[in-house]
A = this chain, B = another copy of it.
Amino acid sequence: MVTNPSKSFWSKYQTRWMQTGSLVCIGLDSDISLLPKHLLHEANPVFAFNRLIVENTIDYAVAFKPNLAFYLKDGMRGIDALYQTLEFIPEEIPVIIDAKVGDIGNTMDAYVSAFVDSYCADAITINPLMGRDVLSSLLSNPDAFGFVLCLTSNPSASDFLMQDKLDEKIASLITSYSSRRLGAVVGATQTTDLQRLRSLMPEQLFLIPGIGAQGGDLEAVIRYASSTKTNPNILINSSRGIIFKDKSIDFAKVAKAEAQKLHSEIRQLLET
């Protein structure tokens, strides 16, 4: 298979960052039970919702990230919504399917085949618990990019990830491959964790979940998780804070305003 470099996640991200200055990743956690009521009459409510969210937030989006769980929840219609959403998002904007898959052999081949070849996602999230074997299917597909779970911000990250430097061992696995093929999921946690993991992974893309519109967290992320201010190598994800901020007929306009607000806050922090 011949790869056109401009089609890879890494190059789409770089181009989008340079052209728009955006670092906002819009999380499409499009839970059927949380949609604005008026959309439930649509043939495919989840796709109808996503279409309006994408149209309204696209100017501020460096990437979109649909979360598989919410598409499975709506059955076959949900899977159809996922397909339609990926088809609807313009080619130049990279898409990450968030499913935190971590398996081996023909199972991982099937996930990569589904997400990358069939749904045409540019990247997937990966759970590395079973070790480097989980990466081989992804790495053998020259178009695919993986964000590997490294540190999360939930309380029980202390059970395993923060014990015996497991997060640093995962970082070491990530940096043993090209930064154009693998990045890291790094929860927005303590300043020291962000600094520590960035120093271990100087060039890797960080996908950072768990940011609300709180200036505090955001400031620490921009300051300590960026590679440099001109080349931050981060994607700051916001899901519910943007897409479900409002449930009225105006939800998409409100989502647009929230995405713009987060984008502006990030721009300001980058410029100071």
Contact = CB atoms under 8 A, between A and B. Distances in A.
Interface of A: 29, 31, 67, 69-70, 72-73, 75-76, 79-80, 83, 100-108, 110-111, 113-115, 118, 127-134, 149, 152, 154-161, 163-164, 166, 169-170, 173, 240
Contacts of A115: 72
Given A128-B160, A161-B131, A75 B67 contact: no
Contacts of A110: 31, 67, 69-70, 72-73
List the 3 shortest-distance A-B pairs measured between CB atoms, nearest first. Answer: A131-B156, A131-B159, A69-B110
Nearest to A129: B129
A173 B118 CA distance: 37
Given A129-B149, A149-B129, A156-B130, A76 B80 contact: yes
Given A101-B100, A102-B127, A131-B157, A108 B69 contact: yes
Counted per complex, copies of this chain come to 2
A187 B105 CA distance: 14
Contact of A29 (B80, B104, B106, B158): B106
A64 B202 CA distance: 45
B173 A169 contact: no
A31 B157 CA distance: 34
A240 B107 CA distance: 12
Given A29-B107, A73-B113, A100-B101, A160 B170 contact: yes
Contacts of A69: 101, 103, 107-108, 110-111, 114
Given A72-B110, A106-B29, A114-B73, A157 B130 contact: yes
B75 A83 contact: yes
